[in-house]
């Protein structure tokens, strides 16, 4: 894992956006894996800014989102479909047919999940997966004890995750219990992964992910087995890393030929 400790969330988001731009320049048909939540908001704003300045073009690109709540109509303000339209897609030129988000109203969920996996495969696989991390170490909605080989499927949320995400709803009761999420095995097949984590509330999960044992109790710890993971942190999220001085040392001495 490459650990990039930035002075703040905005500079970390800027670096992550530069990486997206550089991918799209070298591969205009890139397939992006996208995440929701508070964490990627500044990244998406920066991507929109780059698009408005004609520095980035999505006309041939496509995307697959990690997850969606079951039972929320696409137009529900807290659905991830609404989140993505509002915070990214309505501002950029990715063709609507190239945007993929699991359908929270799918009648036959297992078939829908299988079809989602097939679409990722048919698109050629994900080039760059953007991830956040839950306070319990989840990625996507793969809660602790998820199979590290899991594929896209239904999951039941922990009460901690429901409570963390309740701020996007009017009340805790409104937060769905069930979701569709890409599996950990699905995420691990992405060619490159950028995980962003900001704030003190993520420090424990980040330290467990980077320096702890690989365990399904901390689903993000499996990323230690992926060859191309970049972790963009602000100072508070990096606070519990015991080797953070080493990570800074490595980053400061990164050879100039070593590209993103
Ligand atoms: C949700 C999403 C995750 C996200 C996590 C953290 O559970 N399914 O993809 O990483 O929340 O959210 P936030 O960025 O708001 O802290």
The region, left, alpha or beta by phi > 0 then psi within -120 to 50, assigned to residue 71 is left
CA of 182 to the centre of ligand 1 (A): 13
Strand partners, 136: none
Q: Is the C-beta atom of 38 inside 6 A of ligand 1?
A: yes
At residue 109, the pLDDT reads 96
Q: What is the atom index within ligand 1 of the atom nearest the CA of 133?
A: 10
Q: Is the C-beta atom of 116 inside 6 A of ligand 1?
A: no
At residue 231, the pLDDT reads 98
Nearest CA to ligand 1 atom 1: 37
Whether 97 sits among the annotated catalytic residues: the reply is no
CA of 256 to the centre of ligand 1 (A): 33
pLDDT tens digits, the chain, 260 residues: what are they? 999 999 999 999 999 999 999 999 999 999 999 999 999 999 999 999 999 999 999 999 999 999 999 999 888 999 999 999 999 999 999 999 999 999 999 999 999 999 999 999 999 999 999 999 999 999 999 999 999 999 999 999 999 999 999 999 999 999 999 999 999 999 999 999 999 999 999 999 999 999 999 999 999 999 999 999 999 999 999 999 999 999 999 988 887 666 55
CA of 35 to the centre of ligand 1 (A): 7
Q: Is the C-beta atom of 194 inside 6 A of ligand 1?
A: no
Positive or negative, the CA dihedral 25, 1, 143, 117 is positive
Whether 8 sits among the annotated catalytic residues: the reply is no
Q: Is the C-beta atom of 84 inside 6 A of ligand 1?
A: no
């Amino acid at each position: 894992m490459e650990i990039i400790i930035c002075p703040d969330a905005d500079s970390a988001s800027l670096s992550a956006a530069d990486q997206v731009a550089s991918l799209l320049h070298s591969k205009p048909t890139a397939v992006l894996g996208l995440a929701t939540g508070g964490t990627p908001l500044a990244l998406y704003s920066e991507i929109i800014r780059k698009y408005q300045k004609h520095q980035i073009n999505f006309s041939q690109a496509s995307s697959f989102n990690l997850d969606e709540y079951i039972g929320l109509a696409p137009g529900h303000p807290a659905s991830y479909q609404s989140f993505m339209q509002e915070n990214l897609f309505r501002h950029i030129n990715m063709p609507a047919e190239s945007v993929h988000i699991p359908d929270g109203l799918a009648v036959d969920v297992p078939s829908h999940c299988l079809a989602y996996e097939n679409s990722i495969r048919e698109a050629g696989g994900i080039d760059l997966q953007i991830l956040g991390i839950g306070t319990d170490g989840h990625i996507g909605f793969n809660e602790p004890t998820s199979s590290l080989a899991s594929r896209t499927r239904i999951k039941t949320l922990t009460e901690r995750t429901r409570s963390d995400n309740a701020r996007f709803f009017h009340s805790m009761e409104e937060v769905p219990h069930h979701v569709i999420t890409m599996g950990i095995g699905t995420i691990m097949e992405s060619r490159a992964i950028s995980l962003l984590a900001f704030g003190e509330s993520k420090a424990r999960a980040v330290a467990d992910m980077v320096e702890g044992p690989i365990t399904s109790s901390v689903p993000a710890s499996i990323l230690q087995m992926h060859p191309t993971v970049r972790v963009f942190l602000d100072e508070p999220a990096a606070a519990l890393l015991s080797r953070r001085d080493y990570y800074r040392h490595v980053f400061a001495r990164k050879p100039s030929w070593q590209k993103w």
